[in-house]
Amino acid sequence: MHNFQVHDTIIGFSQKRFILLHPTCVLIKRYGMQDQTVQIDESTIQQWLTSGHSIEIVREELQNRGASEMEIEEHLRAYKKAILDKRRFNATLLLGVGAFIGFVGCVMAMINPFPDMYSIFLYGTTSLAAIVAFGGLYLLLE
């Protein structure tokens, strides 16, 4: 048997048991005495990400394959998580680039190696860094 973490919660008068996602992407949900296993194919999710499918198109594709409602739910949950992970990575990258540009501009304005370019280092790189960082914040917080 697999090594899953079990969390018990009491909702109303009924008790539901959930077994969390294992690193091999096998999900088992237990409701009472019934066990159901959903195998999530990561390569399919990556194909959907690269082709830019919407949630509705993914749902239709899974329904055409004959997937059960639970399988559709779990695949959509994994697809949404993959979209958010990709967006979070891009946001973090933009924030890091913006911070680096701002740091370089600040250091160059302080040491002033080229006196004629002081305004460019002070105002140009600061403006560029702010625009890039706010782009990252937009992706992160939207």
Sign of CA dihedral 66, 70, 73, 79: negative
Exposed/middle/buried for residue 142 (C-beta within 10 Å: 0-12, 13-18, 19+) = exposed
pLDDT tens readout for residues 37-92: 778 888 888 999 999 889 999 999 989 988 888 888 998 999 999 999 999 999 99
Tens digits of per-residue pLDDT, 114-142?
989 999 989 999 999 999 999 999 999 98
Lowest-pLDDT choice from 3-7, 33-37, 74-78, 100-104 = 3-7
